Structure 1
Amino acid sequence: MIFFGTKASLAGTRPMPGVTCANCGHDALTAAVYSQYFHIYWIPTFPFKRRGMSVCSFCKQALEPAEMPAQYRAPFEAAQASVGRPLKHFTGLFIIGALVLILMLSALFRS
């Protein structure tokens, strides 16, 4: 039986300077970016999607991109683009690559 599925983890947070919260009026917005990945036996294999939301540090209002006012979009997209994919989400690919390399080297040294 093979256990596989998807999961998401926090890839990073970035401040959104110059944007005030539409709910409370404070300049305390942060972009939280989550990276969704595919896993086999709970080992992250490869990431396939990034999702994010804006979070006000003062009133804790969280907005998905579809819910954001127009003034949030450009700073949010810039903050989201600056967050990379976590290296740990490629662990399964590294393991598969190492196994293939070992098999190739063992076949090479046997002949």
Structure 2
Amino acid sequence: MIVYGTRSKIIKTEYTADPCPNCKTQGSMQMNIWQQWAHAFWIPIFPITKIGSSECMHCRQVLSFEKMPLTLRVTCDNMKSQTNRPIWTYTGIGVIVITAIAVNISERQTANKVTKMIPSLKKNDILHIKLKDNAYTLAKVSRVKKDSVFLFANNYQIDRATDINDLRYKGYATTEDTLTVANLMDMNKKERILDIERK
């Protein structure tokens, strides 16, 4: 279950020269600027908006922006424009960006590894193969003879690449399929060989 929603916190507080619209006390008005943000699992993802509220320290009347008189609204708008959004409200975006960069680097390293391994495949190497969209399987190298690679295809397919290891202990065909190194390199260019495992 994903826990998500919005939260808010006071990020700036100042006293204003405006008189309280309720008790008319001069210099008793405290203006608060609140930052709202969206969160998932209580981790801030991105800021939404800044909100203002006022409180009289004498009579304790609290006013939302909509209920403030015009003079207080102008003061509130000025404070909001001078208040920066806290960097921590972008935590989730930062995590997403860093994760995306890490995944991209990992995928490139895997792609480079696959490219280097194809010309030197060995018996029992396991290829992670994308058959088509939402169809993935494994193939085990049975032998290599010159430019020909003999493979036993897994008897099963799976619909997500992340679950491909679930096929590892399922049955393989007993009849060999044959591909050339050139065929495999072409498959790799088309991003159909996702990984190669060597024990």
Q: TM-score, normalised by structure 2?
A: 0.51
For the 8 Å contact 1:26–1:58, the answer to whether it is kept is no
Larger Rg: 2
Q: Identify unmatched segments of 5+ residues in structure 1.
A: none
Figure out how many residues of one structure are paired with residues of the other and give that number: 110
Pairing of 1:84-103 with structure 2 (within 5 A) = 84-103=84-103
Measure the CA separation in 2 of the matches of 1:90 and 1:12: 18
Measure the CA separation in 2 of the matches of 1:57 and 1:84: 25
Pairing of 1:71-110 with structure 2 (within 5 A) = 71-110=71-110
Measure the CA separation in 2 of the matches of 1:87 and 1:57: 30
Q: Identify unmatched segments of 5+ residues in structure 2.
A: 113-199
Measure the CA separation in 1 of the matches of 2:30 and 2:80: 10
Amino acid at match of 1:22: P
1:54 aligns with 2:54: yes
Divergent runs of 4+, >3 A: none
Measure the CA separation in 2 of the matches of 1:67 and 1:37: 23
Question: Equivalent residue for 1:64?
Answer: 64
Q: CA deviation at 1:99?
A: 0.4
SS of 1:26 mapped into structure 2: coil
